[in-house]
Structure formats: C-alpha cells, structure tokens
Amino acid sequence: MYKYFLQGLRVGVISNLFLLWASLTITNISDDLFLVVPAIILISVSAFRCLFPVNYASKAVIIDSVLSSVFVTRFLVTIVEVTYIYMFSYVLRIINSDQYMFVDLISWLMVIQVIISQFFCWGAILLKYERFYFYEEFGWFIIFFINTILSIVMLSLDLSNAHYSLIIISMVFGSLYLPWQVLHLKSITNRINTNPEIKAQEFKMNLSKVKFEFKSSIYDRKVSFDINDWGRVVGMMWMYGYWILFIPVWMFYIILII
C-alpha cells in the first residue's frame, strides 16, 4: 500500500506543472519579483520532488538517478525554503502596510530562522549527525508560529477582502500545522531514541568526514518502498502536504490575489 502512495506523488508533477503554467499566464515576473519568483521556484521544485523524491536520512529513492540524490534535492530545496519564507514575511509586511512596526520587524525573524534551519539540515547531512534534523524542524515550528501570531494580530487592521482571505488562510494553516509539527518532532525524537546507530553518532567537525558525506549525498541511494525508509505515515503526510496539497496551492493563491 505504501508503494502506491509513493508512486502517487507523480500526480503532483501534473498538478504543479499546471500551477506553474497558470502562474506564468496570469502574472508578469516583473510585476513583483519578491512575490512571483519565490512562488515559481517553489512550484517548479515541488514538481521535481514529486518525480524524484528522496529521504535524506535513509537515502531512499523511487528512481535510481543522480537527480534523486540528497545533494541535488537539498541544494534546490535550500533555495526554495529561503525564498518562499521570505515571500511569506513579505506578504505580512504588504498586509501590515507600515501600521504596526513590530509586525514588520518580527516578520524578518522568519527569514533568519529559515536560514538557521538550513544550516542544521546541511549539518545533519554533511556531518551525519541526525539529531540536527530535530532542530531544523523545530525551526519550522517557530517560523509558522510567528506567521500565525502575526496574522492574528493583523485581524485588528482595516483589511481588504483579498488581504483578509490571506490572513484567514495563514491562521487556519497554523492551527492545523503547529499541532501536526509537534507530532512530527515527537516522531523524530522517537526515531533518534530507538535507533542505536543514530544514538551512537557523534558531533565532530572533521573535514575528511565532510568530504565523505558530501560524496555519499551525491552517489549513495537505494530504491525502496519500505514505510520505515520514508518516515511512515507522518512522512507521507509531509510529502503530500508540502509538495502537492497545501504549499504550492497557497503560493499560487497569494500571487493570484496580490
């Protein structure tokens, strides 16, 4: 059954390419680079990830290609995550329209936090210290906690219908995502505590180790449909939500509305 869910990710290739076409049709990239470009990047890379998924920890793939490698995917995703969280913070500042100075200031913390999370993720990969994945994901909890709280604060503003809809979406997403992320963090903690190999990992800044893990992130992969290699049910929910059902559609709606 899990195999069919993994293969079903290919539906996301079609849906994301449609969103990409629609985005390019209804917008001009030069209209607002800070809105349109991050959305196009995220939607494009989401289509790529649906075709070439990979699990960073287990190096599990469903297509044995260098395009499925941890390094290629992580390189693209680093660009995606920094740009789309910047876009979210930018949208908050557009809606705020200089009314609450603290909203503008705090929105930048989202960008700082996503950059910090990238360091933790790359550290987990290149130092093979999987405890860093917990801190990376905790960073995402912080990001969307900030996004949700600032959205609630801005309900007190005199908002247009378009801006009001974006605020409501942010609040609804936060109310669903934040409890789910707590479960996600617990699953990561459980995986660390029950896996002797992970528990035995030591944090060492060693250049030879970094070189070895760098090569491993490019060349090492295994074709697998094992539920344990993909984060079980939580992992599947994360892939479908992030790459297909929520984030790409949300990005498209933002540029459609604004």
Give the CA angle between residues 24, 244, 138 to the nearest 5°. Answer: 115
Q: What is the pLDDT of residue 244?
A: 97
Residue type, 89: S
DSSP state of 200: T
Give the position of tokens 């290699």: 229
Mean pLDDT for the stretch of residues 44-55: 98
Structural contact between residues 4 and 240, judged by C-beta atoms closer than 8 angstroms = no
Question: Could you give the angle at which helices 70-96 and 207-219 cross, rounded to 10 degrees?
Answer: 90
Q: How many domains are contained in the chain? A: 1
Least reliable range by pLDDT among 23-27, 93-97, 168-172: 23-27
DSSP state of 231: T
Q: Please name the residues in contact with 111: beta carbons below 8 A apart, sequence gap of 6 or more.
A: 82, 85, 86, 89
Return the bridge partners of 60, or none.
222
The Cα 168–Cα 155 span in angstroms is: 9
Taking Cα atoms as reference points, which of 114, 90, 116 lies closest to residue 104? Answer: 90
Count CB-CB contacts under 10 A for residue 107.
Answer: 21
Above 80 in pLDDT, residue 229? yes
The Cα 16–Cα 44 span in angstroms is: 7
Structural contact between residues 142 and 233, judged by C-beta atoms closer than 8 angstroms = no
Q: Integer distance in angstroms from the first to the last C-alpha of the chain?
A: 40
* E strands, 86-231, in order: 222-223
What values do phi and psi take at 224, rounded to 5?
A: -150, 140
pLDDT tens digits, one per residue of 60-74: 999 999 999 999 999
Structural domain including 18 reads 2-257
What is the model's pTM? 0.95
pLDDT tens digits, one per residue of 72-126: 999 999 999 999 999 999 999 999 999 999 999 999 999 999 999 999 999 999 9
Please give the share of the chain, as a percent, with pLDDT higher than 70. 100
What would the two tokens of residue 132 be? 């860093």
Taking only Cα atoms into account, the Rg of the chain, rounded to an integer number of angstroms, comes to: 19
Structural contact between residues 95 and 159, judged by C-beta atoms closer than 8 angstroms = yes
What would the two tokens of residue 89 be? 């913070």
